[in-house]
Amino acid sequence: MSERRITLQHSYQTLPAEFYAHVSPASASQPELLLYNQPLAEALGLPPMDHTLAALYFSGKQALPSAQPIAQAYAGHQFGHATMLGDGRAMLLGELVTPQQQRFDVQLKGAGPTPFSRRGDGRATLNAVLREHIMSEAMNALGIPTSRSLAVVTTGESVFREQAHAGAVLTRVASSHLRVGTFQYAAWHPKKTLLPALVNYAIERHYPAAAQAPNPALALLEAVMERHITLIVHWLRVGFIHGVMNTDNSTISGETLDYGPCAFMDTYHPNTVFSSIDHQGRYAFGQQAAMAQWNLERLAEALLSEIHPEEQQAIALASSVLDHFHPRFTQQWLTMMHAKLGLINDAHDVVDDWLTLLQQQQMDYTNAHRALMAAELPADECYHTEAFQAWWQRWQPLYLAGGGGDAAQQLMQQNNPAVIPRNHRVNQALAAAEAGDMSAVHALNEALSTPYAAREVGDFYAQPPQEHERVARTFCGT
């Protein structure tokens, strides 16, 4: 690859120096390119890449000629508790501007310690890196805003997490890594010029129309709120549970970020939790909208001085925006649920009763929605109970009123995936990869690349876990 054609920009470093620290990636002893996302590389406008050179660049062993590695500073509420943070195992190399003039951060995750590592080693395990690659690329295929995985490089070194694991580095691409926590950091900092600089930068980068609004900071808050409503509705559509919705993982761009203890729900229940560190169920499946609103309230608090110089007036203005969260979310969620059920006309009670039925019958969230699209219901007992049949008799006329096999079927096809990255399949693939066999990862990635395509009855990737395959807990990569 011609080095002169890789040109990274560094607009983030136009912010005051307090927002970042210059860093150097730790040198990997034996970097080897394990995965390279060619479709993403082409979309980013990257030229063909030699795999040996890619391993050097994306492990941090050799610097991209235009890279200026930094670790970003930010703060955040972690499970409700405020703390100062920063990139403890991530390094921003710079920003890539695509041929379509879209700007993306290019970041190494797991390339060594930074000033924000808080006694951590700054490394990442192969298991954690592959998990983020699988999950983020699956989310993109599902049509959900997300960071992306460009490359996975093994380092040839061990990383210790209770025991020794193979080390790896992920090259993550995102619209930016600006977070609610970035604004909290600026608002909490004694230097009062940080916040207005960050507000201006965020508006210019993500929401340029807000600059023309009578109150740009308030317009920024509303724009971020709308993105987050859309994002959470997407998560709920596919049964995704983020697991660690702290404000430092809440992006200003409205993209899904940080795939640590995340998981996809099999059996439906709104209180479903997988994260091993979420002891109180704060970020349970059904709590995610409320937590998004809570995070947005923290963003509003950080923005108060930019919204209005008088605090009470600023609070009133911010509240006037946030008061719209619940009704707008509810409307988008209902629209989404109607689409999953193929309902063209309003039928709120049918939606509510369907979710109650799913919970009571302990039905698989993904497969139950796909079953409604089939010519014949599956033989599973849950589809032939008196309760299901009673609901079915109410739903069918409404479904048929929307066109049945035409418009309604198309709506359902677009909103109900046949395959998701089920926890047991992901764990099986990761276990094989740790043992040196990447074939299961490749096969899983292939299946997840077309999640809405019809699958054969009994398809390996569409099957929910058997009792002995169930995953009870997922874990943070650190």
Domain ranges, ordered by start, for the chain = 3-174, 341-415
End-to-end CA distance of the chain: 34
User: Which stretches of 372-464 are DSSP H helices?
Assistant: 386-401, 407-415, 423-434, 439-448
- For residue 401, the tally of other CB atoms under 10 A from its CB is 14
Nearest-5° Cα angle at 92, 31 to 127: 45
Q: How far is CA 122 from the centre of its chain?
A: 21
Residue 248 annotated in active site: yes
Q: Which of 105, 248, 258, 266 is catalytic?
A: 248
pLDDT tens sequence for the chain (478 residues): 344 468 999 999 999 999 999 999 998 999 999 999 999 999 999 988 899 999 999 999 999 889 999 999 999 998 889 998 999 999 999 999 999 999 999 999 999 999 999 888 999 999 999 999 999 999 999 999 999 999 999 999 999 888 899 999 999 999 999 999 999 999 999 999 999 999 999 999 999 999 999 999 999 999 999 999 999 999 999 999 999 999 999 999 999 999 989 999 999 999 999 888 888 889 999 999 999 999 999 999 999 999 999 999 999 999 999 999 999 999 999 999 999 999 988 899 999 999 999 999 999 999 999 999 998 899 999 999 999 999 999 999 888 776 666 788 889 999 999 999 999 999 999 999 999 999 999 999 999 999 999 998 889 999 999 988 888 777 766 5
Closest to 285 (Cα-Cα) out of 272, 275, 274, 294:
272
Give residue for tokens 């006694």: 119
Judge contact between 49 and 36, C-beta under 8 A.
yes
What is the rounded CA–CA span in Å between residue 329 and residue 319?
Answer: 16
Q: pLDDT tens across 447-466, in order?
A: 999 999 999 888 999 999 99
